[in-house]
Amino acid sequence: MSELETLAAELDAADELAWLRTRFVLDDAVYLDGNSLGALPVSVPGRVADVVYREWGELRIRSWEESGWWTAPERIGDRIAPLVGAAAGQIVVGDSTSVNVFKALVGAVRLADEAGDSRRDEILVDATTFPTDGYIAESAARMTGRTLRPVTPAEVPDALSSRTAAVLLNHVDYRTGRLHDLPGLTEAVHRAGAYAVWDLCHSAGALPVGLDEHGVDLAVGCTYKYLNGGPGSPAYLYVRHDLQPRFDSPLPGWNSHARPFGMHPAYEPVAGAGRGRVGTPDILSMLALEAALDVWHGGRDRSGGGEGEGVTIESVRAKSLALTDFFLRCVSAYVPEGRVESLTPATHAERGSQVALRCDAAADVMKRLIHQGVIGDFRHPDVLRFGFTPLYVSFADVERAGRVLGETLGETLGVLG
């Protein structure tokens, strides 16, 4: 056994979150793609079967009340809230991330409009953002008569002005894993009199966010990455308590009406975060998500697997940093010199829960890794991405991934040589 294998075993033996690994459906592969799709929690299949066969199959329409279907968007939002540093009553679950980005950004511009300052004719958007966020921002700007100005997060403080209505930023860069300064940038946006909208897709469930603590105005996020809600599981929208009475969604639907079953022709929004609802919730995927969140809240297993202690986001963050540190150490030890370059910041304050490595022939390298049971992903043109979900990734996984990467790149170097 090598020195790094021995160290991995010691780290796993001391890992206070190691017991959570049994709460997921895993195989012999090293799964480092949880930043794209989280692993399946063992409690989900039984819960989905119960929803399908009993709640839908037997109770049918009665389940909207008797099984709590109608209140699921707010109820599940309250379960996500502590994972992003929010008090209850500020998060509603439903729709996709893209739809919620649209609601939040247009809603932020409309909040700025209330001030009656016609000079606020500009939206700033993260120039490095996931493409869809940029597409949505461009559409929102055209719809609201604003000019869209792409800037990097580092350029935001100097780009802000009395013209700025809203700013859309990513907490963690999806390509490099860089963690941006949410507290500092939010404060800068507020000093300029604008509204801050944050995309939490690559941070929620991996590190502390502190929405309430840092006064974030609106935020959105997906649930199929570090929250392990399943493919296409519904996203969520955060609207800060004091802004909710003024939040004007660009997508008013019957689900967010104050009297949804009154079928009134005039729209009257419900009070609270429920203003973010639109149409009928996707119950099957929403309740699968709710079961997946049991892992965080005492590790409950609805199939009868017992009860564990609750999981804190602080403990998850500590393990995330330890995992990524160890991976970088393994890469340094195993990978031939000069074959990869880390795009992920070395400093903890600027690192999310993934490591991105620039590598020649990256697409082919990732295919080889996957064939050998180390599953990450590839981003055009030359980036290998490895996501570390602390709930189920072990240090032994990390050592194996670094070793296989080194062997693969060594073989590739030999072929190219």
Residues carrying an active site annotation? 130, 199, 224-225, 385
Residues 6+ apart with CB under 8 A from 318: none
- Bridge partners of 124? 149, 167
Task: Give the tokens for residue 393.
Answer: 């990734």
Q: Which of 299, 287, 227, 385 is nearest to 21 (CA)?
A: 299
State the residue for tokens 């792409």.
150
CA-based torsion, 243, 249, 253, 257: positive or negative: positive
Q: Residue 389 carries which side chain, given as an amino acid letter?
A: T
